[in-house]
Structure 1
């Protein structure tokens, strides 16, 4: 339980946590606040004798972001309603597609959503994902494949029948 251990942990993972928070929250101000809260919790955990580990930190981040989502839910709905009024026809279709993808993601389980965010929004490698999840790279790949299939199914149910499965070579 030393400040040096915590400082090393902070320096090692602060940028990753900020990047993840920025991707999930779409705003640097909120992301910095969320990451500050995550590391406040980590410091209290460390002072209490708890072990600092990336999977644990990632879970704390997920929980804090969940709290932030709930706080921002009302303002997001208002912003979406306002955006629909102000976009032109081409932009409106793109916004509708993006909104439908977001809705489809929300219908997935939290674990599927997290996998898809880690792989495509946060651009983590399969090795990094496996490390965060505490599983093998093969297991992470299989879980990601299944999450992509479930997202494709949700989009097809919403009327997007021509969806091709997203594939990437990021390993």
Structure 2
């Protein structure tokens, strides 16, 4: 039977984890919903939360007795979720290779997320490399600063800033080609595009 002294640290650990979970569960769910198949999101989130429980002592900005600040804990937690998502993708690839070997069938195409009314934007995002796309999505969807993105991706903050700048410039060029008026045309407010 556990002594009172052994129960106290366990309860403190549970309280710290519960405080962390209240802060990060919803943002991690959104993060994964944007990147994974809908039927995998809950499983990957559960795996991410399990890793956070196991590595609770490693979470930066998580102090005893205080509610963690989202800015302090989220980048590290996004990195954990990213790793769990990568593991799930690798497992899917292994499973597909096994099915292919067993059935000698044509490769199963990857399921593409539903893009709704933003097909041009998603086509432009697809034109970016995987690392650049991830940096842009962390910046735009998760509203992370380059320093936090660096923590998620393992890149340096300087590398993130450079990638983000170049990727945004490329996106703007790709989208402008599809939406811009030829030079000399007037805009709705009467100004010339020259």
- Please confirm whether the aligned pair reaches a TM-score higher than 0.5, indicating the same fold: yes
2:34 to 23, 38, 41: 23
* More helix per residue: 1
1:128-143 equivalent positions in 2, closer than 5 A: 128-130=144-146, 132-133=148-149, 143=163
1:32 to 29, 42, 57: 42
**Structure 2 CA distance for aligned equivalents of residues 131 and 13 of structure 1:** 18
Contact 2:17 2:53 in 1 (8 A): yes
Alignment partner of 1:162: what SS? helix
Q: How many residues align?
A: 136
The answer for the alignment partner of 2:108 in structure 1 is 78
Kindly state the Cα deviation for residue 23 of structure 1 after the two structures are TM-superposed. 0.4
Kindly state the Cα deviation for residue 129 of structure 1 after the two structures are TM-superposed. 3.5
Query: What runs of 5+ residues in structure 1 fail to find an aligned partner?
Result: 84-93, 166-171
1:50 to 46, 51, 58: 58
Contact 1:58 1:132 in 2 (8 A): no
The answer for the alignment partner of 1:87 in structure 2 is none
Contact 1:35 1:61 in 2 (8 A): yes
Alignment partner of 2:40: what SS? helix
Kindly state the Cα deviation for residue 116 of structure 1 after the two structures are TM-superposed. 1.8
Taking structure 1 as reference, are residues 164 and 61 closer, same or farther at Cα in structure 2, changes over 3 Å only? farther
Task: Between the two structures, name the one with larger relative contact order (CA 8 Å, sep ≥ 6).
Answer: 1
1:91-130 equivalent positions in 2, closer than 5 A: 101-102=125-126, 104-105=127-128, 108-110=129-131, 112-120=132-140, 123-125=141-143, 128-130=144-146
Kindly state the Cα deviation for residue 30 of structure 1 after the two structures are TM-superposed. 0.7
What are the superposed Cα offsets for residues 24-75 of structure 1, whole Å, 9 maximum, x if unpaired? Answer: 0141x311111111111111111xx323432221111111111222333549
